[in-house]
Structure 1
Amino acid sequence: MNLKVLELLEFDKVKQQMFKYVKTEKAKSIIENLQPFCTIEEVNRNLNETNEALNFIKEFEYPDFNGLNDIVSSIEKISKSGIVTVKEIYRIGTTLKCIRGVRNYLEQGNVEYLKYYFDNIHSFKFLEEAILKAIKDGEEISDFASENLFKIRKELKSKTAEIKRKLSDVLKTYSKYLQENIFTIRGDRYCVPVKAEYKSQVQGIVHNQSSSGSTYFIEPLVLVNLNNEVNELIENEKEEIQRILRMLCMKIYDNFDLINISVKNIYLLEFIFGKASYANEIEGIRPIINEDEKIYLISARHPLIEKNKVVPLTLDFSNDRKAIIITGPNTGGKTVTLKTLGLMHIMALSGMFIPAYEGTEIMFLNEIFADIGDEQSIENSLSTFSSHVKNIVSIIENLKPRTLVLLDEVGSGTDPEEGAALAISIIEHFINENCKVMGTTHYSQLKTYAIESENVENASMEFDVNTLKPTYRLNVGIPGKSNAFIISRALGMNEDIIENANKYLSGNTIKLDKIIRSLEEKNIEAVKNNKEIEILKEENKILNEKLKKRFDSIEKERAKIIESANLESEKIINDAKEQIDYILKTINDLEINGVNSKGIKDLEAARREMKKKIDQENKVKEEKRKVKLNQNEIVFKAGMSAFLNRIGQNVILLNNPDSKGEVSVQAGVLKLSVNVCELESVNSNRSDKVVRNKKDLKLKTSSMSMSIDLRGLDTLDAINEVDKYLDDAFVSGLNEVSIIHGKGTGALRKSISDLLRTHIHVKSYRLGEYNEGGNGVTIVYIK
């Protein structure tokens, strides 16, 4: 994609916003070179990677990239046996530790689209620990890098301490011969500053003389051997440090290939998680990428405009629309609309999430061209018109299939009649080349052209004639008006002048204004109807949910009652059987023991009584079964009314029962699938019962409280209670209710206010007056 359009649509500024989410120059370089991909497969793969990274962030927070450094040049030097510093090796160690941490981070979740990177970052814990143990604070080798180094440094400290003790004695002995009562170091040797006239009084080796010649720096003889030993230890220390560094470099060299591929992939992961973090910041979504000629933006927001100022763009640029012509006043947002459309495509096709709502669709494009802004050039003797024409000529010469063309003030800067004709011809050329075109204009001829053309659509930037300010909202399907007369009148222009100006309007202009006015009125009516439909749909959804919950509750209760009854019945029968068995056993025992016949007769009578109870229980169950069978003999057909036991109300059959007896029924707004064995014929007694139930429900709802007290509840519980209370109030037909939340810190009041602002049943609300509870109470008016 051409770099000029990326700059023109400010993609570079978007990328600069992403820089704060990465720290290495390598990751920043990947961002700098980011641009739309060439295939839809690459686009979707990169969007999937961003999406998976964002899911990881939401579940496990942001991965820890601390310690990650740009080490590619350092490991390449090591691979070529080059010299590296202690600091470079330390940065390699912290990077390896970071790689291991990110690998462990990814192991927490299900890696799918990031699996390639996960598989190609390797753990080097042994090497990482060796480096970080050997080097402390990134600057010097630790005492514990090796046993030998520890031993050398321990002895070095001991010798140095001995030298300082002897120096202390020397300073006391020769204090009168010294320039200052201090010691100094000259060429790694401890010396004392001796006055020139006393240099023969101090036995030792002269190492240096001051520039004035007044001071000699002499190494006392008592320190010579100790200084030699210290210097030898220093050399041993340097050799041991070099040996340690060589050992670490050798380990890095041995693992160069795996380290190299791990490092390159960790930079890519840093970049991907940077994209995901940016998506999180702008509240971005993964757009749908289609290969049709369809663009559908839902509340798309320009990411460079502050969130509290940006006006979302909703645009349906469907397959049958080839061009959209936007008209409207200056500073109304036409150019921002062009840039938003272009930038949304560049971001999405670069694998980035875009600030819009779910369901947004982006057309896969091979190219985007734009002619936006006044590029008048004095140096090249180009007027505004010439500059626009030059840009458009360049676009025409470089057209590709699947191209989006953005034209700002097309045809402007010349004679209006010729400019409008040229603009129409340019737009038609792009349409014939199968391009998608969005352009802005002030020319009325283009409005008429869009009305008369089958695949060209008018659009306008909304303008509030009351405040004389643009709203920056795009209205597709309606051309814009200049509103010159309305604005002039509002600003105090003489009415006679405005009336006189009307005479000079052409018939076509007046006709077009009438068309626009008619379209605006229809649009207002359509918006109003849509809102009413949405409200009704939402209310219907709520009622359906409530009825479904009620139905589920009744079904559970019914199953529970049946189960309980069956258990009770079985218990009675089992108890009776046990008693009979006991009686029979007792009779047998009595017979064996020779008990008189009267006792036997009494027991026999008891047995007969128990059997009678069992027979009665069985008879009741059989009668119930026969009643059910008789009911099932009724032939139910589509359109008939029947009584459904499980919900306790009449239903209407929507179709004839199938071979298994299954049938669909309508119960109010609820459709159910039942078996005919659950249906009964409608009779007056049951109807009366239903009426009584409805009457009871009405009495119950009409008696509900006009207020709800939330004091003492936490915010979440309070919101749930208010939501349920408002539903009940709506069903009960209440017009006004009070919510008592208390004054406190105001946090609960704010949460309740946020809920009421968007609640489906709330018409309006306000804080209570002094005699109503003041700020501690909110009065709500129900729709």
Structure 2
Amino acid sequence: MDNSFNRASKTLEFNKVLDELKKLASASITNEYIEGVEISTDFHEVKERLNETNEALKLTLAKGEPQLFGIVNIKEIIKRVEIGGALSAEALLKVSDFLRVSRGLKTYLKKDSNSGEEISLNYIDKLIEDLYTEKSLEDEINSKIISEEEIADDASRELLRIRRGIVAKKDSIKNKLNGILSSHADFLQDALVTLRDGRYVVPVKIENKSRVKGLVHDISGSGQTAYIEPMAVVDANNELKELYVKENIEIEKILRELSELVAKSAEEIKSNQSKLIELDFIFAKAKLAINYRANMPKLNNQGRINLVSAYHPFLDRKVAVPIDINLGIDFSSLIITGPNTGGKTVSLKTVGLLSLMTQYGLLIPAEESSEIAIFEKVFADIGDEQSIEQSLSTFSSHMVNIVYILKNVTKNSLVLFDELGAGTDPTEGAALARAIMEFMLEKNIRCISTTHYNQLKIYALTTKGVANASMEFDVDSLSPTYRLLIGIPGKSNAFEISRRLGLPDEIIDKSKKLLSSENVEFESVLESIDKDRTKIREYKEELERERTKLEKENKRLESKIKNLEDQREKILERSREEAKRLLLNAKENVDIILSEINEVRDNISSENSKRIQEAQDLLRESLKNSRNNSEIEIKKAANPIREIKVGDKVRTSLGNIATVVELPDNKGNVLVQSGIMKMKMPKESLTRIDVQEDTTKHNTRKILKNKATNINSEIDIRGRNFEDARDIVDKYLDDAYLSGLKSVRIIHGKGTGVLRQKLREHFRNIKTVKSFKDAEYNEGGDGVTVVTLK
């Protein structure tokens, strides 16, 4: 890392941010990684770092935090198995946990988002997908190792057999000793069986030790008790000890076998370590972003800074005032003035710290619209007297820092000066400060400085590329507002503050007389600017309130219009549904009428029968049109009616004849009645009719005559389904009946026989059909039905 970043990091307290980051990491090994990550000066690298942090933030907010506990320095463990060593139970459990973390991350990535939002990933998903997982190895370790100090009984058949032997041998020893306790109760200190050096013994009074045959293993501290292993259990204790030795040998064998399984995947497991540490680091950055309520800024490499509603991360959001500050857009140098404790230094530190955070790869506590440049170097000379935690510094220490900055600064640097030129004679200090600022301006270096000197305020007002800024101060309450105002120099409030604190007017007036005329004039100008700024801000706030009010009213009207449109659409939909319902009712009524006509047709004259058939054809044609037009469309008539009166007969654009019931309303809609249905129709959609019935009858007879003349004695309906065929056959049989044909042939083909069967069932319900049968074998057989008409 460049030395300027090291020095700036200490001055701007970036190390505190890293300390917060370390606390959020899940693994201690990640802390070493955090310390090793350097502040980057590469635009693309910084952008990638921010993108990965932003991806982790979105995942954390949508799916919760991933479980990252179990990340350890696995390389040290794997190194042992690579050289043929066996791992301890503790080390094997760490391998299992390490693999579980990797597998858990893959599951986490597939987990559904709580918000249902699809998250676009370009980096983290690749990192996770590259992780090696081996659940069978996890299960093998976990099934055989219960804890760091306990191996499962069924880890192997031999271990289970040995442990059952140990339990049996213990029970045998205890039974024998319990017998001795009963028979030698008078000689014993306590009626208890205890252990010494892994062997079961009984406590005997020291004076009776010769009365109990056995081996003395220990004497109590008081010398009153001898712990004796009775001869009756010596062999059993020896056998128990042998079983314990066998148990340890079997456990070592199990651990060796598990270690060999780990060795087979050593390289793959080892490769996960760097990826898991990096993922832990990235998700720690995301958690820090949540704590700071941070966002991802836009990046540039043109030296532009534009922070919107930015906070210093260590300040309490409940009381802190956000700042808006820009640099490198209209000016390259910014001079901030204002009272002590007014927030100048905090503003300076906020810009510097947020720049370092960005280049490290952290999101910043500012609005998403904020923009930050990638700088080659960052320098900060911040007066310790303005530091939140440190004490007063000297002019000499200031100058040492400034000399270092001037020697090492480059064009693509960010320089922060706090109280430039302070700590010495004001006249000389102001001159030095102006010379340093001119040096920065000539080299087009991005520079922010805080000051109390009027000379620098005037310099900023009169020099292109330099801008003033001030920290707002409320004279009435004698307190800073901590709002940064770009473009306005800060006015000295010493006289006003002193007056409100009780300093006599005569002293204040005398002080004013001692000021130079230029200073008095300058302060007056600043006072006038301050008043104008206050008015402008009040006007702006009033305009903002009006804009907000208008936006609310606009939204209310838009909502009302939408509701009206929705209601209109609902009314139209109900009208369409009603029209469809009426058409369906009409169709049902017509079907009933046609059925009744068919029943009486045989009993009426031929002429009337033909007229009835004409009516049937017209009804069928009307129904066909109604089925083909599910939507009612009102069109303008070709020759619309001009004059209209109640009682006139008209034809609507829907094709039906109606009677005028009411004259047109103010919208030009006429109420007409067709049958039992009344409706309003536009006047332009109506046509006057005079004599229609005779013409219709004449035309109908003419059409029917032509049909009868051209009727064929057979019809071919092969390849059609029953629904289509039925309508065609019905029309054909009606035409054949009217033309006087006595017998017709229906060619339906053989196929599966379904069409033939359904048609014949249908023929039984047709009144004009007398009988039907298969055609002769040489004339089509059962692929043709011969229908005889009445």
Q: Please say whether Structure 1 and Structure 2 have the same fold, judged by a TM-score greater than 0.5.
A: yes
Separation in structure 1 between the aligned mates of residue 271 and residue 619 of structure 2, nearest angstrom: 92
- Are 1:94 and 1:132, in contact at CA under 8 Å, matched by a contact in 2? no
Partner of 1:55: 58
Partner of 2:24: 21
Which of 257, 281, 293 aligns to 2:291? It is 281
Which of 147, 150, 161 aligns to 2:157? It is 147
The alignment status of 1:528 with 2:538, answered yes or no, reads yes
Which of 423, 430, 433 aligns to 2:443? It is 433
Separation in structure 1 between the aligned mates of residue 337 and residue 31 of structure 2, nearest angstrom: 40
5 Å-filtered alignment, 1:391-402, equals: 391-402=401-412
Separation in structure 1 between the aligned mates of residue 210 and residue 587 of structure 2, nearest angstrom: 131
- Are 1:327 and 1:440, in contact at CA under 8 Å, matched by a contact in 2? yes
- Are 2:193 and 2:200, in contact at CA under 8 Å, matched by a contact in 1? yes
Q: Which moved more, 1:569-578 or 1:144-153?
A: 569-578
Partner of 1:130: 140
The alignment status of 1:309 with 2:327, answered yes or no, reads no
Question: Matched residue of 1:190: which SS?
Answer: strand
Partner of 1:624: 636
Q: Which moved more, 1:290-299 or 1:238-247?
A: 290-299
**Aligned AA for 1:465?**
V
Question: Matched residue of 1:438: which SS?
Answer: strand
Percent identity over the alignment?
Answer: 38
Deviations 1:25-46 (A, max 9, x none): 1122233334422312121212
5 Å-filtered alignment, 1:168-317, equals: 168-194=178-204, 198-207=208-217, 217-317=227-327
Deviation, structure 1 residue 409: 0.8
Separation in structure 1 between the aligned mates of residue 218 and residue 621 of structure 2, nearest angstrom: 130
- Are 1:67 and 1:95, in contact at CA under 8 Å, matched by a contact in 2? yes
- Are 1:410 and 1:439, in contact at CA under 8 Å, matched by a contact in 2? yes
- Are 2:87 and 2:256, in contact at CA under 8 Å, matched by a contact in 1? no
Deviation, structure 1 residue 500: 1.2
Deviation, structure 1 residue 334: 1.1
Q: Structure 2 vs 1, CA of residues 627 and 102 (structure 1 numbering), >3 Å: closer, same or farther?
A: farther
- Are 1:292 and 1:319, in contact at CA under 8 Å, matched by a contact in 2? no
Separation in structure 2 between the aligned mates of residue 388 and residue 478 of structure 1, nearest angstrom: 27
Separation in structure 1 between the aligned mates of residue 468 and residue 537 of structure 2, nearest angstrom: 18
- Are 1:50 and 1:352, in contact at CA under 8 Å, matched by a contact in 2? yes
The alignment status of 1:12 with 2:22, answered yes or no, reads no
- Are 2:12 and 2:349, in contact at CA under 8 Å, matched by a contact in 1? yes
Question: Matched residue of 1:624: which SS?
Answer: coil
Question: Matched residue of 1:73: which SS?
Answer: helix
Q: Structure 2 vs 1, CA of residues 278 and 12 (structure 1 numbering), >3 Å: closer, same or farther?
A: same
Q: Structure 2 vs 1, CA of residues 164 and 302 (structure 1 numbering), >3 Å: closer, same or farther?
A: same
Q: Structure 2 vs 1, CA of residues 213 and 491 (structure 1 numbering), >3 Å: closer, same or farther?
A: closer
- Are 2:187 and 2:205, in contact at CA under 8 Å, matched by a contact in 1? yes
Q: Which moved more, 1:162-171 or 1:577-586?
A: 577-586
Deviation, structure 1 residue 94: 2.5
Deviation, structure 1 residue 281: 1.8
Deviations 1:577-600 (A, max 9, x none): 998899899889877644397898
Residue ranges of structure 2 left out of the alignment (5+ in a row): 113-118, 387-391, 643-664, 669-790
The alignment status of 1:412 with 2:422, answered yes or no, reads yes
What TM-score do the two structures reach when normalised by structure 1? Answer: 0.72
- Are 1:587 and 1:600, in contact at CA under 8 Å, matched by a contact in 2? no
- Are 2:415 and 2:448, in contact at CA under 8 Å, matched by a contact in 1? yes
Deviations 1:323-368 (A, max 9, x none): 1111111111111111111111111221111112221111111221
Which of 453, 472, 497 aligns to 2:463? It is 453
What TM-score do the two structures reach when normalised by structure 2? Answer: 0.71
**Aligned AA for 1:203?**
K
5 Å-filtered alignment, 1:593-742, equals: 593-595=603-605, 624-625=636-637
Question: Matched residue of 2:636: which SS?
Answer: helix
Deviation, structure 1 residue 278: 1.7
Deviations 1:455-485 (A, max 9, x none): 1111111111112112222111111122111
Q: Which moved more, 1:594-603 or 1:212-221?
A: 594-603
- Are 1:91 and 1:138, in contact at CA under 8 Å, matched by a contact in 2? no
Question: Matched residue of 1:205: which SS?
Answer: strand
Question: Matched residue of 2:460: which SS?
Answer: helix
Which of 157, 167, 173 aligns to 2:177? It is 167
Partner of 1:726: none
**Aligned AA for 2:491?**
K
Separation in structure 1 between the aligned mates of residue 587 and residue 85 of structure 2, nearest angstrom: 98
Q: Which moved more, 1:74-83 or 1:207-216?
A: 207-216
Question: Matched residue of 1:463: which SS?
Answer: strand
Separation in structure 1 between the aligned mates of residue 582 and residue 138 of structure 2, nearest angstrom: 77
**Aligned AA for 1:222?**
A
Partner of 2:495: 485
Residue ranges of structure 1 left out of the alignment (5+ in a row): 377-381, 631-683, 688-783
Between the two proteins, the alignment pairs up a number of residues equal to 626
**Aligned AA for 1:334?**
K
Deviations 1:525-577 (A, max 9, x none): 33233323333433443344344444444545555555666676788788879
Which of 38, 47, 51 aligns to 1:44? It is 47
Separation in structure 2 between the aligned mates of residue 505 and residue 515 of structure 1, nearest angstrom: 15
Deviations 1:694-753 (A, max 9, x none): xxxxxxxxxxxxxxxxxxxxxxxxxxxxxxxxxxxxxxxxxxxxxxxxxxxxxxxxxxxx
Partner of 1:384: 394
Q: Structure 2 vs 1, CA of residues 594 and 479 (structure 1 numbering), >3 Å: closer, same or farther?
A: closer
Deviation, structure 1 residue 401: 3.6
Partner of 2:760: none
Deviation, structure 1 residue 86: 2.5
- Are 1:409 and 1:440, in contact at CA under 8 Å, matched by a contact in 2? yes
Separation in structure 1 between the aligned mates of residue 106 and residue 393 of structure 2, nearest angstrom: 58
Partner of 2:747: none
Deviations 1:39-92 (A, max 9, x none): 121212121111111211222111223444454433333334456433232233
Q: Which moved more, 1:432-441 or 1:15-24?
A: 15-24
